[in-house]
Structure 1
Amino acid sequence: MRLNQFISASGFCSRRKVDKLIKEGKVTVNGNQISLGHVMSEGDRVEVDGQLIKAKVNDVYLMLNKPPGVTCTAASGIEGNIIDFVNYPERIFPVGRLDKQSEGLILLTNDGSIVNELLKEENEHEKDYIVTVDKKITAEFIEDMASGVDIYNPRKKGNVKTKPCRVVQLDDYCFKITLSQGLNRQIRRMCRRFQYTVTQLQRVRIKDLSLGTLALGEWRPLTQEEIAKLK
């Protein structure tokens, strides 16, 4: 097994972070600094900054109905972070994000191997959101949202056009939108483009996983069937 895969699978940090730590000389195997791409042997002792890394015993997969006000970060120094909120006895991290004001389905795990699969935009995994806005919805608004919207992308520091998507009006102020991409604050920026302000945003589905009846603020482990679908 490659060293970065072993450390990531232990739940210590992401593979990208492992590679950075290796470059900085903070990772040792049997007391020796190693280079990128190192392949481990059975019985190797791995340390990061002197901390022993142990093989993970069990994979953990949780579904949380995140309430507004909780921040999707594993950084312990940030007040209201999702890890403190869940208070799970083992080290876990959130898969992707919901912005602080939003609520709904988010996954937490210690399995770094599923992160890229779920978050890579080219995999086009669908996510459903229920969105409430501050004024009456028109047919033109629904059509415009579904066709793709020019919004600001802070990562590219410029405007991009969102992919066409499914949008269904639920009542005068509420609609469901299905996205296969996850740009920063995408739905809020899309609505703002047409002078609508989001007053409530809830994610209810990721791929084959649905929020169902899970109460706001509650979490539960995924079933074996759900884990199989996730992978």
Structure 2
Amino acid sequence: MQPMRLAKYLSHCGVCSRRQASRLIEAAEVTVNGRPANHIDHVTDADDVSVSGRPVSGPAPKKLYAYHKPVGIDCKLRPDDASSLIHYLPPGERVYPIGRLDKDSRGLLLLTNDGELCNRLIHPDHHQEKEYQVVVDRPFDAQFCAQMRAGVPVDGVMTQPCRVEPVSADSFTIILKQGLNRQIRKMARYCGYRVVDLYRVRIANLHLDAQALPPGHYQAIALTQLELLEKEK
């Protein structure tokens, strides 16, 4: 194989996403041929690459799972945290979450060892849709929906226009192509409301069927089942 930038190589081997690989390199958790790695390293399968003391083998077969995340599971992969998702991953599989749902949120989470797929799903340039069902702490009006659709400031960034449809006096669906940290909760807070339930029901064309996949369970998905939007011109 041709030499590959280290973060991309770790992603290609199914260790983690490129973004997570960069964090591991920065934290001095990665070595190349016995020395601490740096971000500009380029490697091949002939190099001795280790992460947290564990050798990295070549590219693994690409895997994709759907996981119905319950409230209380933290998507950060921390072995010392009993609530961490790392304790609920498919046994024997080296997969990681594509993006996150915060600890207080529930619903569809995708797990993979395919770094390129992860990048296509979470990078804002690719505009993949994510759909949520949301309940807030009190009834809202049409102005709330209009404000949420148009965009509000979140952490110094204006959110992109999105689709918001009321379902009941205090619940709505929202479809985002953006993925800012705790975005929906912060959008609602800016508008004067508090989210009391946030449930992700769709990523791209994959819908969560709670009867077929109860909370806390996962199932394998063929990569061919996932239909991604092409990058907008």
Deviation (angstroms), 1:230: 8.5
Deviation (angstroms), 1:22: 9.1
* Aligned sequence identity (%): 34
The CA distance in 2 between the partners of 1:205 and 1:25, in whole Å, is: 34
| 1:46 pairs with 2:45 | no
Correspondence for 1:176: 173
Relative distance call for 1:110 and 1:140 in structure 2 (3 A) is same
The CA distance in 1 between the partners of 2:183 and 2:91, in whole Å, is: 30
Question: 13-22 or 184-193: which moved more?
Answer: 13-22
Matched residue of 2:42: which SS?
coil
* TM-score, structure 2 normalization: 0.82
| 1:160 pairs with 2:157 | yes
Deviation (angstroms), 1:122: 2.1
The CA distance in 1 between the partners of 2:172 and 2:100, in whole Å, is: 21
Matched residue of 1:118: which SS?
helix
Deviation (angstroms), 1:229: 4.7
| 1:194 pairs with 2:191 | yes
Deviation (angstroms), 1:184: 1.3
1:121-149 C-alpha deviation (Å, 9 max, x unpaired): 12221111100111112112111111111
Correspondence for 2:204: 207
Look up the equivalent residue of 1:6 and give its one-letter code. Y
Correspondence for 1:94: 97
Correspondence for 1:221: 220
Relative distance call for 1:47 and 1:212 in structure 2 (3 A) is same
The CA distance in 2 between the partners of 1:34 and 1:99, in whole Å, is: 31
Answer yes or no: is the 8 Å Cα contact 1:208–1:230 preserved in 2: no
Relative distance call for 1:120 and 1:15 in structure 2 (3 A) is closer
Answer yes or no: is the 8 Å Cα contact 2:100–2:109 preserved in 1: yes
| 1:108 pairs with 2:111 | yes
* TM-score, structure 1 normalization: 0.83
Structural mapping, 1:68-79, within 5 Å: 68-79=71-82
1:17-38 C-alpha deviation (Å, 9 max, x unpaired): 6566499695334x68887352
Deviation (angstroms), 1:86: 2.9
Answer yes or no: is the 8 Å Cα contact 1:83–1:92 preserved in 2: no
Structural mapping, 1:110-149, within 5 Å: 110-149=113-152
Deviation (angstroms), 1:181: 0.6
Question: 9-18 or 74-83: which moved more?
Answer: 9-18
- Structure 1 residues without counterparts, runs of 5 or longer: 154-158
Matched residue of 1:188: which SS?
helix
Matched residue of 2:120: which SS?
helix
Matched residue of 1:132: which SS?
strand
Matched residue of 2:66: which SS?
strand
- Structure 2 residues without counterparts, runs of 5 or longer: none
Correspondence for 1:156: none
Look up the equivalent residue of 1:226 and give its one-letter code. Q
1:16-65 C-alpha deviation (Å, 9 max, x unpaired): 56566499695334x6888735252x6x1423276432113322211111
Query: Structure 1 residue aligned with 2:85, among 82, 87, 103?
Result: 82
The CA distance in 2 between the partners of 1:197 and 1:183, in whole Å, is: 17
The CA distance in 1 between the partners of 2:20 and 2:197, in whole Å, is: 34
Relative distance call for 1:188 and 1:115 in structure 2 (3 A) is same
RMSD over aligned Cα atoms = 2.8
Look up the equivalent residue of 1:103 and give its one-letter code. R
| Equivalences, count | 222
Answer yes or no: is the 8 Å Cα contact 1:45–1:52 preserved in 2: no
Relative distance call for 1:38 and 1:86 in structure 2 (3 A) is closer
Task: Name the larger-Rg structure.
Answer: 1
